[in-house]
A = this chain, B = another copy of it.
Amino acid sequence: MDVTKNIEDYLKAIFYIINESKNGKAGTNQLADYLNLSPASVSSMLRKLKEKKLVTYEKYGKLELTQNGHEIAVQLVRKHRLWETFLCEQLNFSWDEVHEVAHQLEHIQSSKLIIELDKFLGHPKFDPHGDVIPDEKGNFKFRSKITLSELKKGDLCRLISVKDSSAVFLKYVTQIGLALSSEIEIKELREFDNSMLISFNEKTENISNKFAENIYIEKV
Contacts and interface: CB of A to CB of B under 8 A. Distances in A.
Interface stretch (A34-42, A63-71, A88-96): A88-96
Contacts of A87: 113
Interface string A112-123: 110011001000
16 contacts: A87-B113, A90-B120, A91-B113, A91-B116, A91-B117, A93-B112, A93-B116, A97-B112, A100-B110, A101-B108, A101-B110, A101-B112, A104-B109, A104-B110, A105-B105, A105-B108
Interface residues of A, number: 18
Nearest to A107: B104
Interface of A: 87, 90-93, 97, 100-101, 104-105, 108-110, 112-113, 116-117, 120
This chain: copies in complex: 2
A121 to B, nearest CB: 11
B108 A104 contact: yes
Nearest to A91: B116
A3 to B, nearest CB: 14
Contacts of A116: 91-93
Nearest to A108: B104
A90 B97 CA distance: 23
B108 A120 contact: no
B113 A101 contact: yes
A101 B113 CA distance: 8
A105 B109 CA distance: 10
B91 A120 contact: yes
A120 B97 CA distance: 17
Given A93-B116, A105-B105, A105-B108, 6 more contacts: A90-B120, A91-B116, A93-B112, A101-B108, A101-B110, A104-B109
